[in-house]
Amino acid sequence: MIKNICCIGAGYVGGPTMAVIAQKCPHIKVTVVDLNEKRIAAWNDKDVNNIPIYEPGLSDVVAEARGRNLFFSTEVDKAIDEADMIFISVNTPTKTYGVGKGMAADLKYIELCARQIARVAKNDKIVVEKSTLPVRTAQAIKDILDHTGNGVNFQILSNPEFLAEGTAIEDLFAPDRVLIGGDTTTEGQKAIQALVDIYANWVPKDKILTTNVWSSELSKLTANAFLAQRVSSINAMSELCEKTGADVNEVARAIGMDSRIGPKFLKASVGFGGSCFQKDILNLVYIAKTYGLNEVADYWEQVIIMNDHQKRRFAKNIISTLYNTVSGKKIAFLGWAFKKDTNDTRESAAIYVADDLLSEQANIAVFDPKVEEKQVYFDLDYLETRKSEANKSGLVVVDNPYEACKNAHAIAVLTEWDEFATYDWQKIYDGMLKPAFVFDGRNLLNKAALEKIGFVYQAIGS
């Protein structure tokens, strides 16, 4: 029976997943380690409201388990040494150099973990891939462990994470399924069972699925590809709706009632963001290409092409609607996060829309209830479109939505935060230049109510 778990990587996945395992399994000691000292210090902050990741319900889980059987530490070697089971939950970003640049997953952090585990481990361990990885990565991890280790036995499991940000705790408490892939050998099956036993503390047995390692690794990429494809599909239809008088919300409802299609994940938007959809599809495209499967690669790449187009055309539409110039005009951004209920901004559509508008010399004022000013500038600077000073002079981050909208020519809704719908829109209208435009990239606001006040309101796909 597993008594001691170590998780390498205290990020959006490692933090919440381990907090929930610790809360649900008080008999298991769970230590989450990371090289990032600031992040670990924040996880250990006396005030649980200061933990580094905002997720509804997460601070309560951490408050209950931390110090009891949940620990956050920078002592990676010690935690590896003590653990029976080690989760690898480090980042696997798109490569920014060399072969596969801009497409393949960068596995250097994974390899570093494998080498560190091999060096430190003095007894048999189960190593669990929690990060999203290209199919057959387990083979590489096994090679490293077996060739550089101290002669101890390792079992590699694949246990991809399907949580979505903003609902991480809900998703972890009641997952649609838990997927565990492992070797078909007796030892492999024993390792699978050890992990099944952990989840079985709160997940019904029929929702715990076991497969071979390769199916498990590939299922994760497949799931994200299918989800992203649905968003790109409805977004493609949104553009056609705008040309034809159809309403994408009505179309989504009509097709979603077909039980074969289903109603979820059909919300047209300014484009999907987040750290994973794009990265994982690019990775899938790269894998397909390396096997010479060019049609497969092209098929999935189109999901990304459509998404880029959706972000671009949102910005273009703002410019053309504002009489073909936004130069010197103030545009208020409501939302910067890639979706509501998270402070994560990775690949958020807002970044790309802002970048396009800044290139047209717009003045942008951003309000997001959870995103910090320094993150907004970091995101823009990361694109390297212009100098950091130019980003700072073209864009301000404010902590009040009414201030963001004051004297603006237009408002762009980039994130679907619930609170945006509850604002005093008459007050906002009164403070704006006229005509007062709203570009709702999330179809969040009430069109009729806004038009009654006097706004010129444009949504996606209608």
Partner touching 313 among ligand UGA, ligand NAD, none, CB below 5 to 8 Å by kind: none
Distance of alpha carbon 31 from alpha carbon 414, whole angstroms: 37
Taking the complex as a whole, how short is the minimal distance between the CB of residue 210 and ligand NAD, in angstroms? 19
Measured at CB, which residue is nearest to ligand NAD? 11
Given the residues 6, 7, 25, 276, the one annotated as active site? 276
Choose, by CB under 6 A, the member of 276, 331, 334, 349 that binds ligand NAD.
276
> Among residues 115 and 177, whose Cβ is nearest to ligand UGA?
177
Q: Consult the annotation and say whether 279 binds a ligand.
A: yes
Q: Consult the annotation and say whether 34 binds a ligand.
A: yes
Taking the complex as a whole, how short is the minimal distance between the CB of residue 132 and ligand NAD, in angstroms? 3
Closest Cα partner for 165 from 347, 305, 333?
347
Distance of alpha carbon 158 from alpha carbon 328, whole angstroms: 52
Closest Cα partner for 421 from 397, 438, 403, 399?
438
Tell me how far apart the terminal alpha carbons of the chain are, to the nearest angstrom. Answer: 57
User: 245: which 2 tokens?
Assistant: 């008088």
Residue 276 annotated as catalytic: yes
Please identify which residue in the block is written with the tokens 């806004």. 450
Site string for ligand NAD, 21-50 (x = CB under 6 A): ------------xxxx--x-----------
Q: To which H or E segment does residue 157 belong?
A: strand 154-158
Residue 269 as a binder of ligand UGA (CB under 6 A): the answer is: yes
Hey, how many other C-beta atoms are within 10 angstroms of the C-beta on 46? 5
Q: Maximum Cα–Cα distance for the chain, whole Å? A: 74
Choose, by CB under 6 A, the member of 79, 113, 208, 319 that binds ligand NAD.
113
Q: What is residue 363's three-state secondary structure?
A: strand
Q: What is residue 165's three-state secondary structure?
A: coil
Residue 231 as a binder of ligand UGA (CB under 6 A): the answer is: yes
Query: Which residues 112-171 are close enough to bind ligand UGA by CB under 6 A?
Result: 132, 161-165
Residue 319 as a binder of ligand NAD (CB under 6 A): the answer is: no
Choose, by CB under 6 A, the member of 5, 6, 7, 12 that binds ligand NAD.
12
Q: Consult the annotation and say whether 338 binds a ligand.
A: yes
Distance of alpha carbon 31 from alpha carbon 50, whole angstroms: 19
Q: Consult the annotation and say whether 278 binds a ligand.
A: yes
Query: Which residues 205-224 are close enough to bind ligand UGA by CB under 6 A?
Result: 224
Question: What values do phi and psi take at 122, rounded to 5?
Answer: -115, -5
Tell me what percent of the chain is helix, strand and coil, each rounded to the nearest 5: 50, 15, 40
Q: To which H or E segment does residue 38 belong?
A: helix 37-43
Partner touching 175 among ligand NAD, ligand UGA, none, CB below 5 to 8 Å by kind: none
Residue 335 as a binder of ligand UGA (CB under 6 A): the answer is: no
Residues that bind ligand UGA (CB under 6 A): 132, 161-165, 224, 227, 231, 265-267, 269, 272-274, 276-277, 338-339
Residues that bind ligand NAD (CB under 6 A): 8-14, 33-36, 39, 76, 89-92, 109, 112-113, 131-132, 161, 163, 165, 275-276
Question: Catalytic residues, which ones?
Answer: 276
